[in-house]
């Protein structure tokens, strides 16, 4: 696999629905073998972008190439190269797991033995091998989602575009799903995967794209995002005070080594340059010594979500 090969190339993409700028001049590239998270709130423009990539909708402006092929000029070739998992898919109550996959394999044009082999492979891969005769209405949400995921793999595409594939899954099903993505990544697939939950994607993606109001506001890795918000190496602390929090905010503003992340309802979230317990204990003693009316001083694990909120507050980066 040529890891420098650009498999998804999006330049100046725009899509409007009336006055709504659903996608507003987005540009990004995904290289061969990368797993990239596409993250944004409801209505941010993820599905609209992904549908254009999957040749299901046309752009108003801009250019999209999949494996070097323009999606508008070569839609049939592009579809052969990519697997698309929509965020909503039909569940046919009385169609069995096998029949469902067999139907799609027929649609891809696979014949007899080859079709059977592919369907069986996908059932094994998605852990649905023992569910072949089970009607879809008897599947749990996680199983139905895996089935739809399996459907996108039937033609062994090089590129996968997955729209909210983990939405609504319980923690166990989410872990199983992550494992499948990991295996596919190891096999060299290029994967673009959307979610509105950042932590859902953080650990499985090589890079992340954040979309907000149709615009790309950040692209980079999870650790770059943490670093950019300035607290990756340090300790994050949530402090609650009795009464007025102004004195506490000032304290964080002027003390060396501290960075105020944000004021909270009863105090503040701040980062100290070190996360060593002794260093934090010394700071705590100093705060108490200087008369700050502390009610709580709690070291917390920094979450990607916090870093993202900080980055948005700082005006984005992309
Ligand atoms: P979600 O997480 O809720 O799926 P999303 O990030 O995928 O959201 P989109 O579905 O791409 O967001 O929607 C982006 C914007 O475009 C929204 O304001 C939405 O209301 C609007 N939009 C999307 N599709 C259409 C449509 N067919 N007609 C009119 N407006 C649309």
Pairing of strands 258-263, 267-272: antiparallel
Stretch 168-182: mean pLDDT: 86
pTM of the complete model? 0.80
Q: Is 22 in the pocket of ligand 1 (CB under 6 A)?
A: yes
| pLDDT for the residue numbered 301 | 72
Task: Tell me: pLDDT of 63 over 70.
Answer: yes
Band (pLDDT 50/70/90 cuts) for residue 318 is: very low
Among protein residues, the one with the nearest Cα to ligand 1's atom 20 is: 43
Delimiting residues of CATH 3.30.70 domain(s) in the chain: 233-301
Delimiting residues of CATH 3.40.50.300 domain(s) in the chain: 6-226
Query: Which class would CATH give 233-301?
Result: alpha beta
| pLDDT for the residue numbered 230 | 55
Stretch 111-137: mean pLDDT: 93
Q: Quote the CATH superfamily of domain 6-226.
A: P-loop containing nucleotide triphosphate hydrolases (3.40.50.300)
Judged by average pLDDT, the poorest of 45-49, 60-64, 157-161, 267-271 is 267-271
Pocket test for ligand 1, best of 22, 85, 196 (most atoms within 8 A of CB): 22
């Amino acid at each position: 696999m040529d890891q420098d090969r650009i498999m998804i190339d999006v330049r100046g993409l725009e899509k409007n629905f009336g006055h709504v700028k659903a996608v507003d001049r987005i540009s990004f590239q995904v290289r061969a073998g990368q797993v990239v998270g596409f993250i944004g709130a409801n209505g941010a423009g993820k599905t609209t972008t992904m549908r254009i990539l999957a040749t299901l909708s046309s752009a108003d402006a801009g250019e999209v190439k999949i494996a070097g092929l323009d999606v508008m000029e070569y839609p049939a070739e592009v579809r052969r190269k990519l697997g698309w998992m929509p965020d909503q898919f039909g569940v046919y109550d009385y169609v069995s797991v096998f029949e469902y996959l067999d139907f799609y394999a027929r649609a891809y044009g696979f014949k007899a033995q080859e079709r059977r082999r592919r369907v069986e492979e996908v059932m094994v891969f998605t852990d649905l091998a023992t569910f072949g005769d089970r009607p879809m209405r008897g599947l749990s949400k996680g199983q139905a989602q895996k089935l739809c995921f399996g459907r996108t793999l039937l033609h062994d595409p090089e590129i996968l575009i997955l729209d909210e594939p983990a939405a609504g899954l319980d923690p166990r099903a989410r872990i199983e799903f992550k494992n499948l993505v990991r295996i596919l990544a190891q096999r060299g697939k290029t994967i673009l995967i959307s979610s509105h939950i950042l932590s859902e994607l953080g650990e499985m993606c090589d890079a992340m794209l954040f979309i907000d109001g149709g615009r790309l506001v950040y692209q980079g890795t999870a650790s770059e995002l943490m670093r950019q918000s300035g607290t990756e190496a340090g300790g994050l602390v949530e402090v609650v005070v009795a009464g007025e929090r102004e004195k506490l905010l000032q304290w964080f503003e002027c003390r060396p080594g501290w960075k105020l992340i944000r004021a909270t309802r009863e105090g503040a979230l701040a980062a100290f340059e070190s996360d060593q317990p002794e260093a934090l204990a010394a700071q705590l003693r100093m705060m108490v010594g200087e008369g700050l009316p502390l009610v709580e001083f709690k070291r917390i694990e920094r979450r990607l979500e916090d870093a993202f909120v900080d980055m948005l507050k700082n005006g984005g980066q992309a």
